[in-house]
Amino acid sequence: MAETAVARETLFALRETIARLEGRPIPALAAAAHDMPADKPIMGSTDTAKRPSSRPMPEQQLLAIGVDDLDDALQGGLPLDALTEIRSLGLRDAGSASGFTLALAARLRAHASETTAAASPVLWIGDTVATMEAGLPYAIGIRDFGLEPADFLQASPRKLEDALWVAEAALGSAAFAVVILEVRGNPARFGLTESRRLALRAKAVGRPLFLLRQGGEEEASSALFRFSVEPAPSLARPLPDGSVLGGSIGHPAFRLTLEKSRNPAPLSITLEWNAHDRRFAPVLDTQRPAFPGEHAAHSGADLSASADRPDRTQAMGSVLAFNRQA
């Protein structure tokens, strides 16, 4: 019994320390009442029927992607009170990773508008190093992915430490539908400790945080899920009669790999984003039409031989056989 009491007091102390770091102190007595087993009577009470009411835990809010295979791997969808990492393999794929992140933000705001009258804005935080290579968000491109520029705020701190502080403060304010933190590569000043702090803040306020890692490698973090995003060829634009417009470019497509999840094996899938309907749709290889005369930009066709060029390389002279040395 003494060891149990000591363990419980240690747990209360740890919870209060975490609560102070998160800016919302929790009384130890309230935590004790919450954690007390339901079959244990209240101290000082002789009526065994009077027991502390067990409050049900609130159901976790999830953002469904809308694709069954991916939602099953995510166990229902992306949690709206956690850290989700989205990374590109190289800086050349920064547009694809940014577009997928904007698509998730647009779907999140559409989901929020169904439950509230007015959805909160989106905050994009990019440190200077990331924006120098990947560029800044563009108003027309933001609208093409289903977001209104008036509901999109962008911050460019000069240092990574300032970007982390802005992200934590923005999560603490609970004024944004989602906070997007863009970093380049794997900086030494943003590791497991920093990601854990941001994840705790997101969990405390019940708001999502998207970590957009441009050109970074896999590393340990507190993200519940991590996506690897690569560009994928878009399908042709569909026409109202069901046919496709030859030579056209349809909705943006992404090649996703779910690298970190509760499932042991990664999942790879190609999705296209419909900004008008704000929904994802899977893309199969059999859906790609072959247009007449279609060829790659660099087909590698043979060119005619040059007329003024040196003759072919002549064979080397005769080979002499030397006696082996004794």
pLDDT of res. 42: 38
pTM over 0.85: no
CA distances from 98 to 53, 134, 153, 158, 229 (A): 46, 9, 15, 20, 9
Q: Which of 190-194, 203-207, 270-274, 284-288 has the lowest mean pLDDT?
A: 284-288
Per domain, the residue ranges of the chain are: 2-35, 62-238+245-286
Is 151 exposed, middle or buried, given 0-12, 13-18 or 19+ CB atoms closer than 10 A? middle
Contact 65, 203 (CB under 8 A): no
Question: Which CATH architecture is the domain 62-238+245-286 placed in?
Answer: 3-Layer(aba) Sandwich (3.40)
Average pLDDT of the segment spanning 17-44: 47
What residues have CB less than 8 Å from 8, skipping those under 6 apart?
32, 35
pLDDT of res. 96: 93
